[in-house]
């Protein structure tokens, strides 16, 4: 029997949006839609709410949530959407990592080493400290090539394969998952770590329910970790608890 708390006297439909960033959030129709999606659905169901997950290009996803057209966004960092309402506890930890084509000699060795290459990034993605230290100051130059729209990572991987960029930067778990599903695990080399960053499901600054949703998610994450349910969800995606 479902036990409802005072927070679930009014059952709401919570719409979450993001571009595909598997295994954090995968295709909505997939039987394994991503561990962040599963966490949200499990936690909010306990409070009597239902979660609907849609995909959109990342820049548009941010816009939709910022304007209050959807309730929340999956996989954002605090510096990426600083005006959003965040839970106290992160739902993942991104490891921003550089990749090159197999055999390419370049390795990341500090910001000066980035001057040697053309780097592929995705519009409005957060790359931790690399954003302010290098990407934003050099955006618009030939050294930074920006992808926007859908399937940004896959398109950057193709650019890397064709030699149109020298390196790309993305989360290690996401990149390796993409290589696994495309059966190209040996075509690329890890070229160094850019930064670590906590990632969240965050909520619209325009909606009055957002603070309540953030609190529910924080409480829920504590319970998932305490009961072992978080490990059970993460195991389905081959992800270890980052704490």
Each residue of 99-120: pLDDT tens digit? Answer: 999 999 999 999 999 999 999 9
Domains of the chain in start order, with CATH, are 11-92+198-235 (3.40.190.10), 94-196 (3.40.190.10)
- 37 within 8 A of 25, measured Cβ to Cβ: yes
Upper half-sphere CA count for residue 75 (Cβ side, 13 Å): 31
Q: Say how far residue 77 (Cα) sits from the centre of its chain.
A: 8
Token pair, residue 87, equals 């839970």
Q: Dihedral of CA 26/31/35/41: which sign?
A: positive
pLDDT score at 95: 95
pLDDT score at 185: 78
pLDDT score at 110: 95
pLDDT score at 10: 62
Q: What is the pTM of this model?
A: 0.84
Token pair, residue 72, equals 């929340």
User: What parts of the chain have a pLDDT lower than 70?
Assistant: 1-10
**Helices marked H in 97-151:** 130, 136-138
């Amino acid at each position: 029997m479902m036990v409802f708390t005072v927070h679930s006297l009014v059952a709401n439909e919570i719409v979450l949006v993001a571009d595909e960033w598997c295994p954090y959030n995968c295709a909505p129709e997939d039987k394994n839609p991503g561990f962040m999606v599963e966490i949200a659905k499990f936690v909010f169901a306990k409070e009597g709410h239902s979660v609907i997950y849609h995909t959109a290009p990342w820049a548009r996803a941010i816009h939709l949530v910022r304007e209050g057209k959807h309730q929340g966004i999956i996989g954002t960092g605090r510096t990426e959407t600083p005006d959003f309402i965040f839970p106290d506890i992160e739902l993942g930890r991104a490891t921003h990592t550089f990749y090159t084509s197999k055999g390419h000699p370049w390795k990341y060795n500090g910001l000066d080493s980035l001057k040697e290459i053309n780097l592929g990034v995705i519009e409005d993605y957060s790359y931790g400290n690399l954003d302010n230290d290098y990407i934003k100051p050099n955006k618009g130059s030939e050294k930074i090539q920006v992808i926007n729209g859908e399937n940004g990572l896959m398109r950057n991987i193709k650019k890397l394969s064709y030699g149109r960029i020298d390196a790309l930067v993305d989360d290690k778990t996401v990149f390796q998952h993409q290589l696994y599903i495309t059966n190209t695990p040996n075509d690329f080399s890890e070229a160094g770590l850019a930064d670590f960053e906590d990632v969240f499901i965050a909520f619209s600054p325009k909606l009055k329910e957002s603070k309540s949703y953030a609190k529910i998610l924080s409480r829920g994450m504590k319970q998932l970790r305490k009961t072992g349910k978080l490990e059970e969800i993460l195991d389905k995606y081959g992800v270890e608890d980052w704490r």
